[in-house]
Chains A and B, each alone.
Chain A
Amino acid sequence: MSRTVLATLQVLVAVIAVALWWVITQTSILGDPARIQFFFSTPADVFWQIVAWFRSGEIWRHLWITLIEAALAFVIGAVAAMIAGFWLARRPKLAAVFDPYVKAANALPRVVLAPIFTLWFGLGIWSKVALGFTLVFFIVFFNVYQGVKEVNRTVLQNARMLGMSERQLLRHVYLPSALSWVFSSLHVSIGFAVVGAVVGEYLGSSAGLGYLIAQAEGMFDIAGVFAGMFVLSAFVLLIDWGVTMVERKLLVWQPDNNH
């Protein structure tokens, strides 16, 4: 499928979805439009709400807060997970001891942690960063761990025979191998950093996209809720696109990334 055809089809999906939405909320084929509008708002209302946010400039502050929280959660979570993953992967006995605890911690639904983090870190950005951290950490951790464990044996033996010390093996063999695993999960882990931030905001804060949505919900302002969701989706798409760009630059050495 050519690029233009693909883009056209992708836009077409949005157009049809919005058209359906419009028809349902403006005509009475599914019942009283006023009733339906209460639950689903209308495309025009949502559109003008978004325009109003950007016109007043109010939205930028919220976007910025969410971005900062997600970025901090990602960076701190990824760095901590890389250190922990490396450290444990090279110590199989220690890893075996910690294994059930790591699994148990990962199985915990993070939402239950949100009130505790608010208690510990307050209502500001750090409780949201903490929530995002718990999501990012485990994804990156498992990938680094796997990446170190699954280093190609021949490549490793070859590097040893070339005379690499343990430190050089770490830098030239283990780290690149682990990083390629981390990159393969980058879209997921960055998405989770945003989820952590937004859920944290939603459950208690005074700024951010999650706060905006929660506010609208509290006032039964359905147009506001939908507008918040659309801005959030666009925000995530934009970040995801940025990640793809970075990936293309950094993973040229991988067979499926040569363009």
Chain B
Amino acid sequence: MQHAVRLDNVDISFGATGKSVFRAVAGANLSVAKGEFVAIVGPTGSGKSTLLNAAAGLLKPSAGTVEIQGQPLDGLNGRAGYLFQADALMPWKTSRDNVAIALEISGTPRREALERAENWLEKVGLKGFGHRYPHMLSGGQRKRVAMAQVLIRDPEILLMDEPFGPLDAQTRLIMGDLLLDLWQQDRKAVMFVTHDLEEAIALADRVVIMSTGPDAKLIGDFTIPLARPRDVSEIKLSPEFQELHRDIWHLLKEQVLKAYGNQNREERA
């Protein structure tokens, strides 16, 4: 089977050559099949964003290969849509224009782009909010616009970096449901980064664990056999979910404690 994303022995370093080099990721291997929803969980600072940026083509690995649908990645990954953790909307465009521009840049006439943008805003539950600028929306609403902006281009691969991280607990659940709802319709390949294990299990087909950096790699790989369609808030109550959570947490906890220890040592130094 052809993979949507394949990372093969990927190293990613920061810092100029010659000076002290910080190798954030070392020897990471990961394959995401077409239509597969993979969540990557790891402690803060382990290198999750870094790995995702390599899949997006925003960072070039210092060693190893990144393949997108069987082709080595060169430059930006044009088949991927990227949902960032921080606010990424253009603040000077209304939400409707922010979504429409994603089509306009590839040549869709403005009128058609605006119409389709309205449709997408409706799909993410923001009908009637098209004329608002990002600062007039709540954090959750901004994420919805960002989702519409990414999905309107119909990318084959979806990269998401803690997209619901800054939101409150209830909004996260609602956004999780919305995401699954939209994903269910055409099952794109997804790389979903989070530090929240519950969120990862509730959403994904597979959960992989990232070890604490530097030299972080992917160490655990768990299939999540929970039936779909899922209800993100309900599913957490099922015994199956709790058993999976216990197994995976056992491995993750070690990494979290290690990361915590590193941090304390740094602070004392």
Chain A contact residues, CB within 8 Å of chain B: 154-155, 157-165, 168, 172-173, 176-177, 180, 252-255, 258
Q: CB distance A162 to B149 under 8 Å? A: yes
Please name all residues of chain A whose beta carbon is closer than 8 Å to the beta carbon of B106 when the two chains form the complex. 163
Q: CB distance B58 to A157 under 8 Å? A: yes
Q: Which 3 A-B pairs have the closest CB atoms?
A: A158-B88, A176-B92, A253-B133
Q: CB distance B105 to A254 under 8 Å? A: no
B110 in the interface, Cβ–Cβ < 8 Å?
no
B91 in the interface, Cβ–Cβ < 8 Å?
yes
Given A252-B133, A253-B133, A254-B135, also A161-B90 (CB < 8 A): no
Q: CB distance A155 to B80 under 8 Å? A: no
B63 in the interface, Cβ–Cβ < 8 Å?
no
Please name all residues of chain B whose beta carbon is closer than 8 Å to the beta carbon of A252 when the two chains form the complex. 133
Please name all residues of chain A whose beta carbon is closer than 8 Å to the beta carbon of B150 when the two chains form the complex. 162
Q: CB distance B153 to A162 under 8 Å? A: yes
Q: CB distance B101 to A162 under 8 Å? A: yes
Query: Closest approach, in angstroms, between the C-beta of A65 and any C-beta of chain B?
Result: 37
Query: A163 is contacted by which of B88, B94, B153 (Cβ under 8 Å)?
Result: B153
Q: CB distance B153 to A253 under 8 Å? A: no
The prevalent SS among residues of A at the interface is helix
Chain A residue at smallest Cβ distance from B161: A154
User: A155-B87, A163-B78 are known contacts; what are 6 more A-B pairs with Cβ within 8 Å?
Assistant: A161-B82, A162-B102, A168-B105, A180-B92, A258-B135, A258-B136
Given A157-B88, A254-B135, also A164-B105 (CB < 8 A): yes
B89 in the interface, Cβ–Cβ < 8 Å?
yes
B84 in the interface, Cβ–Cβ < 8 Å?
yes
Q: 9 A-B contacts, Cβ less than 8 Å apart?
A: A157-B82, A157-B88, A158-B84, A158-B88, A158-B89, A160-B76, A161-B82, A253-B93, A255-B135
Please name all residues of chain A whose beta carbon is closer than 8 Å to the beta carbon of B146 when the two chains form the complex. 158
Q: How large is the interface on B (under 10, 10 to 19, 20 to 34, 35 or more residues)?
A: 20 to 34
B81 in the interface, Cβ–Cβ < 8 Å?
yes
Query: Closest approach, in angstroms, between the C-beta of B151 and any C-beta of chain A?
Result: 11
Query: Closest approach, in angstroms, between the C-beta of A205 and any C-beta of chain B?
Result: 41
Please name all residues of chain B whose beta carbon is closer than 8 Å to the beta carbon of A255 when the two chains form the complex. 135
Q: How far is the CA of A159 from the CA of B56 in the complex (A)?
A: 13
Q: How far is the CA of A253 from the CA of B97 in the complex (A)?
A: 12
B86 in the interface, Cβ–Cβ < 8 Å?
yes
What per-residue 1/0 map shows which CB atoms of B37-60 lie under 8 Å from chain A?
Answer: 000000000000000000010100
Please name all residues of chain B whose beta carbon is closer than 8 Å to the beta carbon of A161 when the two chains form the complex. 56, 58, 76-77, 80-82
Q: How far is the CA of A253 from the CA of B58 in the complex (A)?
A: 28
Q: CB distance A154 to B133 under 8 Å? A: no
Query: Closest approach, in angstroms, between the C-beta of B16 and any C-beta of chain A?
Result: 15
Q: CB distance A155 to B153 under 8 Å? A: no
Query: Closest approach, in angstroms, between the C-beta of B15 and any C-beta of chain A?
Result: 18
Q: Which of B131-176 contact A (CB under 8 A)?
A: 133-136, 146, 149-150, 153
Q: How far is the CA of A173 from the CA of B76 in the complex (A)?
A: 18
Q: How far is the CA of A163 from the CA of B103 in the complex (A)?
A: 9
Query: Closest approach, in angstroms, between the C-beta of A143 and any C-beta of chain B?
Result: 16
Query: A253 is contacted by which of B87, B88, B105, B135 (Cβ under 8 Å)?
Result: B135
Query: Closest approach, in angstroms, between the C-beta of B37 and any C-beta of chain A?
Result: 20
Q: CB distance A158 to B82 under 8 Å? A: yes
Q: CB distance B88 to A154 under 8 Å? A: yes
Query: Closest approach, in angstroms, between the C-beta of B210 and any C-beta of chain A?
Result: 21
Query: Closest approach, in angstroms, between the C-beta of A155 and any C-beta of chain B?
Result: 6
Please name all residues of chain B whose beta carbon is closer than 8 Å to the beta carbon of A165 when the two chains form the complex. 105
Please name all residues of chain B whose beta carbon is closer than 8 Å to the beta carbon of A155 when the two chains form the complex. 87-91
Query: Closest approach, in angstroms, between the C-beta of B5 and any C-beta of chain A?
Result: 15
Please name all residues of chain A whose beta carbon is closer than 8 Å to the beta carbon of B149 when the two chains form the complex. 162
Q: How far is the CA of A154 from the CA of B85 in the complex (A)?
A: 9
Q: How far is the CA of A176 from the CA of B134 in the complex (A)?
A: 15
Q: How far is the CA of A165 from the CA of B101 in the complex (A)?
A: 13
Q: CB distance A154 to B84 under 8 Å? A: yes
Please name all residues of chain B whose beta carbon is closer than 8 Å to the beta carbon of A162 when the two chains form the complex. 101-102, 105, 149-150, 153
Q: CB distance B153 to A172 under 8 Å? A: no
Q: CB distance A154 to B102 under 8 Å? A: no
Given A154-B84, A157-B84, also A172-B135 (CB < 8 A): no
